[in-house]
Amino acid sequence: MHLSNQALGAIMLALQESLLAQSDIVPVLKGFELEATDSGLVIKNPPTVRFTDETEISAGDLEKMAKR
């Protein structure tokens, strides 16, 4: 079994958000819901990206993303 391109992208987004917020990525990764497909594992609740807001992303924001 392998990760799909979608899952790799979701992990990279989570890593980038975690690095920018200088917070632990583990809660986000643990919160991912995985589904096996023909193209590999897919993350059913990938992190979201904010484009219009310059507000800093907090550890609480990352935990909320993980719970979705």
Report pLDDT digits (tens) over 49-64. 766 667 777 778 777 7
Report pLDDT digits (tens) over 11-24. 999 999 899 889 99
pTM of this structure = 0.70
| Tokens linked to 12 | 């990279």
Instruction: Give the C-alpha separation, 26 to 6, whole Å.
Output: 19
Report the amino acid identity of residue 66.
A
First to last CA, the chain: 24
